[in-house]
Amino acid sequence: MLLFIGRFHVLLVHLPIGMLVLLATLEVLARFPRFKRADASAGFILALAAPITLLTAACGWLLSLGGGYPENLLEWHKWLGTATAAGCILSAILYQQRKITAYRISLFVTVAILTAAGHLGGSLTHGRDYLIRYAPAPLKNLLGLAVTPKATAVSASRNTSNLPVFSGVIAPLLANKCVTCHGPDKSKGGLRLDSFAAMQQGGDDGLIFDPDVPAQSELLRRILLPLDDDDHMPPQGKSQLTTNELALLKWWVETGTPVTNLVSELNPPPAVRAILNAQTSPK
Ligand code: HEC
């Protein structure tokens, strides 16, 4: 129930953003003689914005209880979001007391905090580099972000066939899609997927590999279930495995979960080899 309410955070959050940015815009416009009455409805907007911002922050707290987010990012987002709600309420009080200069300062500080909170929120739901992933290279350089090397350069320098299958292929994949929930910070279902030794321990429901019938391993069962099945992994709404990643995991489990063998030694079938050859960043 709490999570049901919590999820409204993702919807509600757009209202405070719109209202606070609108308030700030009105204040700026009101500086120009032509729009000097622009801030006339600020009181009304604040009366709406304060309770809605508070409600949004409260839903956010509920949502965070569900977990599944990178801890550090979540902490920052949570506190900046709370600060946004506090800033909005403070602004409303100052406005009501006709302390207009103080109100403006409070409002603009709140919008700055909101911007940071919003950016982190976006990073939480879409992944850290979502916004600028497809930015043109010169802009990325300007922002001091590493430009993704050309695919050819990567596969030449990190040809997966010379890598140990677990550390070179499987571990990076699990790190991307599973370890936020099954790692050192959190081990949902009592399961850690951040090392092979940990994987061998299994989870609350027992082992995730079936040495006798690898194809029936719990790990495979979970990732192959339909998306809307409650047992499906990663859970619905989280970043899913791509078809290629699924094929790689399936091949690895069905091959008997080799660890230190080089990929080339395992003689993968053509379909798997094609995926491995096309892999651009086995991080
Ligand atoms: C957003 C969090 C999250 C992500 C990401 C995630 N899982 Fe899970 N996983 C859970 C939760 C919660 C459970 C426990 C509830 C359940 O059993 O469904 C679980 C349980 C499991 C179990 C059963 C463990 C046991 O013994 O009960 C397996 C196997 C599993 N996950 C595999 C994976 C794999 C493989 C990935 C990546 C492809 C993955 N999970 C990604 C949240 C996550």
Q: Where are the alpha helices (DSSP H) in the chain?
A: 2-6, 8-12, 14-29, 42-65, 71-96, 100-126, 137-142, 151-157, 165, 171-177, 196-201, 218-224, 243-254, 270-278
CA of 90 to the centre of ligand 1 (A): 42
Q: Mind listing the pLDDT tens digit for each residue in 77-99?
A: 999 999 999 999 999 999 999 99
Q: Which residues contact 193 (CB under 8 A, 6 or more apart)?
A: 174, 178, 179, 182, 183, 199
For residue 281, the model assigns a pLDDT of 46
Instruction: Tell whether ligand 1 has an atom less than 6 A from the beta carbon of residue 63.
Output: no
Q: From the alpha carbon of 177, which atom of ligand 1 is closest?
A: 37
Domain-by-domain residue ranges, the chain?
2-126, 151-278
CA of 74 to the centre of ligand 1 (A): 20
Residue 26 pLDDT exceeds 90: yes
Best residue for ligand 1 mutational test, from 169, 178, 196, 221 (most atoms within 8 Å of Cβ) = 178
Q: From the alpha carbon of 239, which atom of ligand 1 is closest?
A: 5
Q: Which two tokens stand for residue 22?
A: 């609108």
CA gap 267, 106 in Å, rounded:
64
Instruction: Tell whether ligand 1 has an atom less than 6 A from the beta carbon of residue 220.
Output: no
- Say which DSSP state 128 is in: T
Query: What is this structure's pTM?
Result: 0.54
Q: What is the mean pLDDT of the chain?
A: 87
Query: Is 62:8 a contact under the CB 8 Å cutoff?
Result: no
Q: Mind listing the pLDDT tens digit for each residue in 134-149?
A: 778 788 777 766 555 4
